[in-house]
């Protein structure tokens, strides 16, 4: 679960802060026979230091140089009136074992699910344990009275264990900046239980996304036998309640926007007679998926030759650990594929891949973000991935497209991105093609929603939310299981309340009413009608009925004025301020009528044809069960023979005009017509449906809305976000929506 927004008690808000991280916000760089401290860049540093300055406190960490060098050069740390910096001394051997070996060759690959790359070495574990104890000892010695101790990242997982003993009574918090793996992966490590005990010494353990929280809770339960309250995110450990919560980290949006505003944009609107720019930015690491990404670019140019000369991919590769054999081998592979792609496809005046192997300062990187039509962010596994958020923040015109790996934590937040599996090279190539051909309206809808969210949740807000949560990390146990409707309401409440308007789309058959043997028997009950009438009067709720029925039929069945009605699977729409009839309705009327006659000629006992004008349905619910599958196949063949689109649903075959229009298209049409092309910035769209034909709407709203599938059991292949078991549960949720209570849930 994502942490609720909380407010710390006034006294606690002034509590001193001790930040403990592997690195200080400075780095020791040799200049002659001296070590000079240079500031480390990054949004986390810029966000933490003002809080430290306001509260007063200490930043404890390593300066990046071995003790032998720092002692010989007489290194002097910067000073500040309100902040002290305390260096933890590490020898060259300790750096190699603690940092180079256990942190980066054991924990890093394991936590990113690269089990085969994980090095299990008892000697490096012992050094890791000793160094963590030293960090804790230094932090406890330097901490002001009553300070909040905030420990960061995988290099220091054991520090809280020792702080609990060295700084008794001090509140402790931890934030993990990389993924937390599933229990069956984590338990590969012989010292997994010791690491868990380290984290469970805290009052609050923070992760990027809810999935990592759940992994952590499962590990505590399975490996240590802890009592776990998953709903509350609470582990009961050694007589204390430890809260685990998701706090997605972010970026310094203001800085990115200022740098983007000062950059010179490329001439001409995107997509019109200029080379489309695709950008990747990564540190050299096997988790980043750079090799697979380049294969996808190569596949794009193979499958769609028309993009040659029209698209350029820029890969910024920041060197990292090049002396490590596996990293130098990875670099060699990347070099080879860049050379191969450029060798195969380059033309006079154009090369497909621009390859920049160097670290770029923000002043150079942000203009690349702004100028890129598409950001290709496809790590094989990533805790969050801030490149995705930086790209979004730099899109001042709201017209870029973000392609994002579902393996990155950022995919949980940035749902309006085009989300891909980075291992599926063909699918990534397909998604590149989709992004390159995406309409300006869809680009702006997706990007405007992305930018709103990133701006709203920048790194400064992240720090304040985390610190407030650390002060109020208390038991939130819930004694009884929630009903399905209550669970859906709980999961939707905060999201719905973040916009002033909710657009509610409801399927009819199977959603508002139970499925009946014949459509005319699926009558709407008095209570659902009364609640829909209340919904029609709710000023910030825009209610739309979406059905495969003929428009006049569904309007007559519901019988509630003031609603918008979508009939014929989206081909006809009527409502306040909107009237739509797809041009294909008249063009394919004759073909639909001929198909209906052909279906009747099949003569299947118990089957019947429903003519709807714009579409048709062939119902087999009355057919003997052993004959239904054959009847559906026959009907599908008949419909396709008449060159119509055939869709098989729950004991029905639907025939529609063979055009790219469906319930999802109609939903987007209503949203754009009624709320504008940038509707995601002002409206939350929620769709409830039960059938195969509703999957089109689920897919259309994926990332820019929410959807609920109504079925006794959640279908394995559905694209819906949530599940309700039946129309009775839908009615319970509808009562809450019709009351308008959701409008107060985003506070």
pLDDT of 591-604, one tens digit each? 999 999 999 999 99
Q: Are 698 and 468 in contact (CB under 8 A)?
A: no
* DSSP symbols for 232-256: TTEEEETTEEEEEEE------HHHH
Confidence of residue 273 (pLDDT cuts 50, 70, 90): low
477-493: per-residue pLDDT in tens?
223 335 788 878 877 98
Q: Are 181 and 108 in contact (CB under 8 A)?
A: no
pLDDT surpassing 80 at residue 295: yes
Task: Return the minimum-mean-pLDDT range out of 637-641, 649-653, 707-711.
Answer: 649-653
Alpha-helical (H) ranges within 584-624 are 584-587, 589-601
Rounded to an integer, the average pLDDT of 94-120 is 96
Beta bridge partners of 151: 20, 174
Task: Return the minimum-mean-pLDDT range out of 88-102, 126-140, 706-720, 727-741.
Answer: 706-720
Which three-class secondary structure state does DSSP give residue 158? coil
Q: Are 160 and 198 in contact (CB under 8 A)?
A: yes
Ramachandran category for residue 349: left, alpha or beta (phi over 0 → left; psi -120 to 50 → alpha): left
pLDDT at position 722 is 85
Quote the percentage of the chain above a pLDDT of 90.
70
What would the two tokens of residue 171 be? 């509140």
pLDDT surpassing 50 at residue 111: yes
Rounded to an integer, the average pLDDT of 105-116 is 97
Q: Strand 572-575 to strand 578-581: parallel, antiparallel, or no bridges (unpaired)? A: antiparallel
Task: Return the minimum-mean-pLDDT range out of 12-21, 368-377, 378-387.
Answer: 12-21
Best mean pLDDT range from 11-20, 79-88, 222-231, 521-530: 521-530
Q: Using CA atoms, how far apart are residues 360 and 338, in angstroms rounded to an integer?
A: 20
Determine phi and psi for 652, rounding to 5 degrees. -155, 145
Confidence of residue 9 (pLDDT cuts 50, 70, 90): very low
pLDDT at position 476 is 33
Number of H helices, E strands in the chain: 28, 29
Rounded to an integer, the average pLDDT of 221-233 is 87
Give strand ranges (E) for 98-166.
Answer: 148-152
pLDDT at position 82 is 79
Q: Using CA atoms, how far apart are residues 470 and 243, in angstroms rounded to an integer?
A: 9
pLDDT surpassing 80 at residue 501: yes
Q: Using CA atoms, how far apart are residues 79 and 334, in angstroms rounded to an integer?
A: 43
Q: Fill in the DSSP letter of residue 21.
A: E
319-340: per-residue pLDDT in tens?
987 667 788 899 999 999 999 9
Rounded to an integer, the average pLDDT of 87-103 is 94
Confidence of residue 744 (pLDDT cuts 50, 70, 90): low
Strand order in the sheet with 374-377: 353-357, 311-318, 276-283, 374-377, 401-405, 418-420
648-700: per-residue pLDDT in tens?
887 889 898 999 999 999 999 999 999 999 999 999 999 999 988 899 999 99
* Secondary structure of 523-576 in HEC code, one letter for each residue: CCCHHHHHHHHHHHHCCCEEEEEECCCCHHHHHHHHCCCCCEEEEHHHCEEEEC
pLDDT surpassing 90 at residue 40: no
pLDDT at position 268 is 55
Q: Fill in the DSSP letter of residue 482.
A: P
pLDDT at position 551 is 93
Task: Count CA atoms closer than 13 A to 303's CA, side-chain side.
Answer: 15
pLDDT surpassing 90 at residue 447: yes
pLDDT at position 10 is 44
pLDDT at position 698 is 97
pLDDT surpassing 70 at residue 1: no
Q: What is the CA radius of gyration of the chain?
A: 29
**Domains of the chain by start residue, with CATH:** 12-246 (3.40.50.2000), 253-456 (3.40.50.2000), 484-582+661-744 (3.40.50.1000), 586-656 (3.30.70.1020)
Quote the percentage of the chain above a pLDDT of 70.
93
Q: Using CA atoms, how far apart are residues 320 and 670, in angstroms rounded to an integer?
A: 49
Q: Among residues 449, 446, 563, which one has the least CA distance to residue 495?
A: 449
pLDDT surpassing 70 at residue 41: no
pLDDT at position 265 is 66
Q: At what angle do helices 386-394 and 440-456 cross, to 10 degrees?
A: 110
Q: Are 226 and 436 in contact (CB under 8 A)?
A: no
Q: Catalytic positions, please?
A: 507
Average pLDDT of the chain is 89
Dihedral sign, CA of 28, 31, 35, 37?
Answer: negative
Confidence of residue 54 (pLDDT cuts 50, 70, 90): confident
Q: Are 691 and 507 in contact (CB under 8 A)?
A: yes
Q: At what angle do helices 122-142 and 159-166 cross, to 10 degrees?
A: 40
CA dihedral 496, 498, 501, 505 (to 10 degrees): -30
pLDDT at position 481 is 35
Burial environment of residue 603 by CB neighbours within 10 A (0 to 12, 13 to 18, 19 or more):
exposed
* DSSP symbols for 649-665: ETTEEEEE-SSS--HHH
Q: Among residues 502, 461, 383, which one has the least CA distance to residue 742?
A: 502
Q: Are 723 and 709 in contact (CB under 8 A)?
A: yes
Task: Return the minimum-mean-pLDDT range out of 248-257, 644-653, 699-708.
Answer: 644-653
Beta bridge partners of 220: none
Number of CB atoms found within 10 A of residue 640's CB: 15
Q: Among residues 413, 375, 137, which one has the least CA distance to residue 251?
A: 413
Q: Using CA atoms, how far apart are residues 99 and 89, in angstroms rounded to an integer?
A: 13
Confidence of residue 11 (pLDDT cuts 50, 70, 90): very low
């Amino acid at each position: 679960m994502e942490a609720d927004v909380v407010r710390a008690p006034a006294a606690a808000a002034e509590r001193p802060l001790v930040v403990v991280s592997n690195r200080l916000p400075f780095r020791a760089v040799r200049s002659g026979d001296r070590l000079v401290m240079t500031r480390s860049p990054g949004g986390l540093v810029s966000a933490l230091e003002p809080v430290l300055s306001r509260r007063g406190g200490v930043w404890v960490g390593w300066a990046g140089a071995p003790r032998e060098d720092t002692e010989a050069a007489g290194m002097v740390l910067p000073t500040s009136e309100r902040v002290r910096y305390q260096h933890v001394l590490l020898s060259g051997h300790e750096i190699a074992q603690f940092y180079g070996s256990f942190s980066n060759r054991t924990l890093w690959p394991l936590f990113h699910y690269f089990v085969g790359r994980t090095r299990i070495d008892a000697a490096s574990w012992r050094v890791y344990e000793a160094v963590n104890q030293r960090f804790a000892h230094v932090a406890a010695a330097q901490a002001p009275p009553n300070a909040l101790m905030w420990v960061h990242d995988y290099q220091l997982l054991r520090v809280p264990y020792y702080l609990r003993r060295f700084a008794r009574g001090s509140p402790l918090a931890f934030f993990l900046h990389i993924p937390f793996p599933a229990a069956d992966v984590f338990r590969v490590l012989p010292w997994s239980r010791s690491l868990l005990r380290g984290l469970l010494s805290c009052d609050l353990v923070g992760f990027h996304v809810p999935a990592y929280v759940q992994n952590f809770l499962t590990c505590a339960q399975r490996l240590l036998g802890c009592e776990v309250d998953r709903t509350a995110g609470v582990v009961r450990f050694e007589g204390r309640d430890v809260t685990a919560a998701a706090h997605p980290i972010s970026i310094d949006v203001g800085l990115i926007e200022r740098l983007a505003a000062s950059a010179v944009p490329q001439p001409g609107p995107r997509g019109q007679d200029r080379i489309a720019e695709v950008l990747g930015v990564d540190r050299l690491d096997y988790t980043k998926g750079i090799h697979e990404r380049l294969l996808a670019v190569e596949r794009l140019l193979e499958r769609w030759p028309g993009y040659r000369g029209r698209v350029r991919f820029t890969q910024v590769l920041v060197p990292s650990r090049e002396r490590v054999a596996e990293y130098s081998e990875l670099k060699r592979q990347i070099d080879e594929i860049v050379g191969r792609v450029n060798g195969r496809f380059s033309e006079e005046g154009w090369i497909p891949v621009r390859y920049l192997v160097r670290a770029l300062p923000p002043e150079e990187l942000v203009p690349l973000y702004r100028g890129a039509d598409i950001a290709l962010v496809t790590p094989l596994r990533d805790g969050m991935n801030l490149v995705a958020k930086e790209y979004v923040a730099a899109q001042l015109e709201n017209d870029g497209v973000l392609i994002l790996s579902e393996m990155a934590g950022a995919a949980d937040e940035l749902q309006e991105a085009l989300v891909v599996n980075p291992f599926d090279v063909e699918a990534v190539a397909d998604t590149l093609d989709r992004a390159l051909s995406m309409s300006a309206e869809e680009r702006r809808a997706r990007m405007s929603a992305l930018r709103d969210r990133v701006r709203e949740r920048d790194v400064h807000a992240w720090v304040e939310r985390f610190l407030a949560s650390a002060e109020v990390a208390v038991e939130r146990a819930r004694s009884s299981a929630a009903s399905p409707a209550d669970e859906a309401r709980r999961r939707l409440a905060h999201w719905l309340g973040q916009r002033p308007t909710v657009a509610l789309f409801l399927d009819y058959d199977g959603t508002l009413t139970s499925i009946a043997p014949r459509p005319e028997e699926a009558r709407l009950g008095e209570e659902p009608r009364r609640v829909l009438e209340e919904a029609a009067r709710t000023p910030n709720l825009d209610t739309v009925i979406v059905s495969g029925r003929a428009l006049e039929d569904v309007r007559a069945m519901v019988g509630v004025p003031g609603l918008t009605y979508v009939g014929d699977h989206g081909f006809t729409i009527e409502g306040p301020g909107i009237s739509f009839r797809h041009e294909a309705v008249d063009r394919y009327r004759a073909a639909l009528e001929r198909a209906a006659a052909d279906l009747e000629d099949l003569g299947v006992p118990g089957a019947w044809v429903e003519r709807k004008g714009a579409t048709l349905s062939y119902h087999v619910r009355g057919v003997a069960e052993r004959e239904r599958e054959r009847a559906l196949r026959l009907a599908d063949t008949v419909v396709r023979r008449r060159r119509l689109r055939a869709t098989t649903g729950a004991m029905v075959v639907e025939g529609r005009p063979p055009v790219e229009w469906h319930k999802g298209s109609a939903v987007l049409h209503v949203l754009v017509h009624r709320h504008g092309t940038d509707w995601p910035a002002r409206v939350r769209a929620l769709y409830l449906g039960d059938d195969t034909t509703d999957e089109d709407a689920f897919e259309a709203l994926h990332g820019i809305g929410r959807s609920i599938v109504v079925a006794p059991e959640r279908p394995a292949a559905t694209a819906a976000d949530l599940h309700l078991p039946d129309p009775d549960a839908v009615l319970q949720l509808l009562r809450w929506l019709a009351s308008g209570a959701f409008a107060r849930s985003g506070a």
